[in-house]
Amino acid sequence: MESIAHKIALKFTRVNFVPEKVTNRYYNRGNLVQIKSPTTTLTTSSSRNTRLFSPISVSKGAAGAGAGAGEEPELKTIPIGDPVSSVDMAPHDPILKDERIAGIASAIRVIPDFPKPGIMFQDITTLLLDPKAFKDTIDLFVERYKDKNISVVAGIEARGFIFGPPIALAIGAKFVPMRKPKKLPGEVISEEYSLEYGTDKMEMHVGAVQAGECALVVDDLIATGGTLTAAIRLLERVGVEVFECACVIELPELKGRERLGDKPLFVLVS
């Protein structure tokens, strides 16, 4: 019988994977996901070099960002709904009803015990290895954004660099990379955004975009929405209109869509 923890993991990944004897820890977009109650809650803790969750409810007495080796990271609780089947892969956007979605979702695999034991990693490299699924992904975005007068496709480091350029080329727009600090040469403007334990910055080249242009912001996945909101603010500061944000995957339990405010979000797999 499929365990509740397994079902909850499937709710996050929306793809099938071979049952493994693992702990109650899973890995999504650099975040440790620990099943704490079989039906009502899950807890999360941040790992390094990742996009972190925004505060929700933090347990007392746990180790913080400066915890020493061997200490448990700080955990927090996020309520979730009932577990769902892995075949429930309908996209969030109701206008997108396309048979290509199932193939895209099934091409995204889960790697158990990476980067360390007990962690389940959502891996899009298998999507990139599947020419049809990768082409379908790009085609679905292009079909949506062609003829929309979009002149800028802004891709968020790092996996937004994979999907953004082919979309930009197909719709006749320029590609603008949004990067972490000290990665872009030359003069940049930056926007600070909040992490669970501090802040980080998103940077863009001065002169890469002009006031009055229309932009699409692209990333592979939206979790809490922190980097997407930073990218939106950067563009709007210089007078660019943000048409929409586009992601391959959404983790709706983390409510990143709400953080975007009135900016529309389009996803393929939710």
The residues annotated as belonging to the active site are: 159, 196
- Which is nearest to 86 in space by CA: 30, 16, 189, 17? 16
Does residue 46 contact residue 67 with C-beta atoms inside 8 Å?
A: no
Count Cβ atoms below 10 Å from residue 121 Cβ, excluding itself.
18
Cα(190)–Cα(121) distance, integer angstroms:
30
- Which is nearest to 52 in space by CA: 179, 201, 223, 202? 223
Cα(153)–Cα(164) distance, integer angstroms:
6
E-only strand ranges, the chain? 25-28, 31-35, 41-46, 76-79, 109-112, 120-123, 152-156, 174-178, 188-195, 198-205, 214-222, 241-250, 265-269
Count Cβ atoms below 10 Å from residue 166 Cβ, excluding itself.
18
Q: At what angle do helices 160-171 and 131-145 cross, to 10 degrees?
A: 50
At which residue do the structure tokens 């956007």 appear? Answer: 93
